[in-house]
A and B are shown apart, each in its own frame.
Chain A
């Protein structure tokens, strides 16, 4: 935070922000035959694809800035997410994207990619990415603070 005053660090806290995006995908591996793909991925292997409303939960960790009361500037985080998450993935067919050219577009792989992308956010350390593919499935990567 730069408001022309020195900042100082308070207690360490975690901030989480959720973003929603809709995308289609098809689970299909070039390593398998057509028959094996159908056997492994079932209805997710439908050649025409299907879609989800994904909820992406980004968790950041850091000292609460005593000048602002915040772990990071939410406007900066939202701008980063808009540019690097929503503009890249929302409304897209995941299988058409470069990142999934040699990788199956499972939500495991999607979560790993989103985690990699958010390591580029400079406002605070992104320690966990959790993606809900549906209300019943979620995937997360990062530190296991929850279980500590």
Chain B
């Protein structure tokens, strides 16, 4: 088995807010991240897939195809968007806050079953170079 990783980047705005809490609770827990005008990051996405090398092609997965899948399923949806206001899985009423952890889980769900010939192994999302989340599809 081989693990293969492809990177992509997107820049998005977000803020942290739990609708079930008061303003004071949100500000106490989330601090500056609770600013409802939002703030942003340059996110780096690393998608790792696992699979066997096709004996003829010599590939686990066609990288060009993987790049296009990441573009279609993730980058075109998240890049230069406000995650809370413009991305369905984080919209008001979903209760899902666009933290790095939840973005990794959401991207896993967007990609699961969409990569032909390989198994999704890990989704890693860097919010900054000193903070990142990994999701392996665990419940």
Contact = CB atoms under 8 A, between A and B. Distances in A.
Interface in A7-48: 10-20
Contact of B21 (A5, A19, A20, A59): A5
B28 interface: yes
A13 B104 contact: yes
A3 B25 contact: yes
Interface residues of A, number: 28
Contact of B18 (A3, A14, A59): A3
Interface string B9-21: 0000000101011
Interface residues of B, number: 29
A68 B29 CA distance: 8
Pairs A-B, 6 closest by C-beta atoms: A69-B97, A69-B99, A14-B134, A18-B130, A12-B138, A69-B102
18 contacts: A3-B18, A11-B135, A13-B133, A13-B138, A14-B133, A14-B136, A15-B101, A15-B133, A17-B130, A20-B130, A64-B99, A64-B105, A67-B20, A67-B21, A68-B30, A69-B101, A69-B102, A70-B99
Interface of B: 16, 18, 20-21, 25, 28-31, 95-102, 104-105, 129-136, 138-139
Interface of A: 1, 3-5, 10-20, 59, 64, 66-71, 73-75, 145, 148
Given A11-B139, A18-B131, A145-B136, 7 more contacts: A4-B21, A13-B134, A15-B100, A15-B101, A69-B98, A69-B102, A75-B31
